[in-house]
Chains A and B, each alone.
Chain A
Amino acid sequence: MKEIIIHQEKAQNPAGLVELCPFGAIEYQEQQLSISAACKMCGLCVKNGPPGVFEAVEERVEKIDKDQWQGIAIYIQHSHGEIHPVSFELIGKARELAAKIDHPVYALFIGSEIREKVNELGCYGVDKIFVYDQPELAQFRVEPYAAVFEDFINAVKPSTVLVGGTTVGRSLAPRVAARFRTGLTADCTFLDLQPNTDLDQIRPAFGGNIMAHIRTTNSRPQFATVRYKIFSAPQEAAEVTSEMVFRTVAPEKLVSRVKVIGTHVKEAVEHLEDADVIIVAGRGVKKEGDMEMIQALADRLGAQIAGTRPLIEAGWVDPRRQIGLSGRTVSPKLIVTCGVSGAVQFTAGMGGAEHIVAINTDPNAAIFKTAHIGLVGDMYEIIPQLLERLENEPAKALICKPVLAVEEA
């Protein structure tokens, strides 16, 4: 879209300009300034440098006709007909966005023997549901699913496509977006629409320490993935309001080189998402043996243990128990963070918690901006003292169902 050119003759102190670039992309060798492949095209050298030395040259690009693309489409995630709740959350968001620009909301429902689920889906205010119900689509395989997605986009020409950020969504969406050579923004935590139908997408980047506002300005459809529990699902209406459109794709287009040999249920794990109380261990935990103290607190509160990325990477906490954008999103009744600094990559995964308690020795820790109760102190003192104090009290009949029992049922 643009290129940065250097006007060497205007540089008074060329050697000093190397410092302008936070990525180290400006080099000064043999009396010449140059820009290396480390350049991120951030434009800071143009903005902060001496006038006229660095110039951003815009390239002329043919503009697409955005009016050709109408509507917001949701990819309906399901497992053998059981619809994943993220799909309803995205329908809610799509309706809100579509109302702003008077666009329709579409749903794309791909699978085999899913017709009886269509009515369930029809009660959420989607204008049209496109159903592809074919035996070849019984198992998720990326090639046939992408072929159906392609058929849908060519037939409907939606302006925006929202996909839930599950493992299936994060495999399928990039495949389809790349096929249309269009933009896809991962794990958006905020979505809005411009009057010109450009989708405003905000997502944490750079390890979550910065937020990036991203737009797909000149290609359609514009794709975004959103994690489970970021948005809220709409109320289910009493009757079906959606129009159903049944389509098929020629079976020869649904062939796949991938063969599904079998499926099996995951080994029974307590799902962190179902926990009412969660104790989170962070980098403040000094050694693996100290997890016993965290466990003791969890046991006393009927809680599950979770961890932040450093503890997952250290192998002290099961990777399935990571909270944050690269892990799980949870909204329990109570969350107690122990020695967690509170990077947004983590807090984005727990913002929905009803009560958030943070224990951290650093009064400036970011976690205190998210916590409802922030205790500036040492968990190595507070947790043992609390446990000692609770020893003399009878355990409260838990207001939450014990998660293990739920799993066994």
Chain B
Amino acid sequence: MEILVCIKQVPGTTEVNIDEETGSLIRDGIDSKMNPYDLYALESALRLKQKTDARISVLTMGPPQAKAIIAESYMMGVDTGYILTDRALAGADCLATAYALSQSIQKIGMPDLIICGKQTTDGDTAQVGPKVAELLSIPHVTNVTRIKNIDAKGIVVEADLPGEVQVVELPYPALVTVEKDIFQPRLPSYRLKLQTTDRKVTTFRLKDLADQDPAHYGLSGSPTQVVRIFPPETEHESEIITGDTVVLTEKLHDMLSKWKFV
């Protein structure tokens, strides 16, 4: 059985500011890491590997530096890694990203199960997983909180819906996105690090995909366009109180009394 996990490299911190004069992003260094939500997807795949004889691949799209997260996933127990990197992918929105990933997945060969994290910490949209499933014409279930059963034909999962939990049976091929608390992710292993230092990462470029029309990728293939970015504004009357703890506590107490909470 083949399991593919989609992963993404994200900024190491979300502390991003904007230079108000130039409108440019100010980022401290180029610190980056694996999207934390993807760790849960990886852990889910690795747990399934223990139960079945699954082979686990990871796929990422991004700059060549994103190979670092593939190396990290090798240290967790992943077998194979693929990176899609091409300048033509620049400026991709969720749809163009999902399209590029779906093209790469067809190039790799359709796995039995695709697992994605709930969302990323930079875009926060949670849209790429369902879009990949649509573009591959396979069913999907999002917000999976529990994997109840897995066998050669399919998987049974619990999904979080508003007001209820749905227990769903999915035949392969299928895509699931997993919630944060599904499993506790393992740490990269030093032993695996040594074993996988030389393990290959397969690089795909646009010319390797079935659809090579640049108009379908990157900014050209993105129906949404960013008009501008700006710092969040707050326009609020607020009373700021400074002083020693006695003053602050007194003020807090007075306000709580005034509002009738104590």
> Taking beta carbons and an 8 Å cutoff, which residues of A are in contact with B?
1-2, 22, 24-25, 35-42, 44, 47-48, 59, 77, 79, 82, 84, 139-143, 146, 166-168, 170-175, 177-179, 181-187, 200, 204-219, 256-266, 277, 300-301, 312-313, 319, 325-326, 333-334, 343-345, 347, 355, 357, 359, 363, 366, 368-378, 381-382, 385-386, 389-390, 393, 395-396, 399
Contact = CB atoms under 8 A, between A and B. Distances in A.
A37 to B, nearest CB: 4
A340 B138 CA distance: 42
B126 A390 contact: no
A175 B134 contact: yes
A139 B166 contact: yes
28 contacts: A22-B25, A39-B91, A40-B91, A41-B91, A47-B22, A59-B215, A82-B163, A175-B130, A177-B127, A185-B224, A205-B122, A205-B123, A205-B229, A207-B122, A213-B227, A216-B223, A260-B167, A263-B164, A266-B165, A355-B259, A372-B236, A374-B241, A375-B241, A375-B251, A381-B249, A386-B253, A389-B249, A390-B262
Given A1-B220, A206-B14, A211-B230, A171 B140 contact: yes
A257 B139 contact: yes
Contacts of A47: 22-23
Interface of B: 11, 13-18, 22-27, 30, 36, 62-65, 85-87, 89-91, 93-95, 98, 119, 121-131, 133-135, 139-143, 156, 159-171, 174, 179-181, 215, 218-220, 222-232, 234, 236-246, 248-249, 251-253, 255-256, 259-262
Which 3 residue pairs are nearest across A and B when measured between Cβ atoms?
A: A207-B14, A41-B91, A183-B223
B22 A48 contact: yes
B139 A256 contact: yes
Contacts of A344: 232
What's the dominant secondary structure at chain B's contact region? mixed
B139 A59 contact: no
Given A2-B219, A265-B164, 20 more contacts: A24-B30, A37-B64, A37-B85, A42-B91, A174-B130, A183-B95, A184-B224, A186-B127, A204-B124, A210-B230, A210-B232, A211-B229, A211-B231, A212-B229, A257-B171, A261-B169, A266-B160, A345-B14, A369-B234, A373-B241
B184 to A, nearest CB: 9
A79 B162 contact: yes
A355 B260 CA distance: 12
Given A178-B135, A386-B253, A22 B63 contact: no
A155 B246 CA distance: 67
Contacts of B14: 206-209, 343, 345
B229 A213 contact: yes
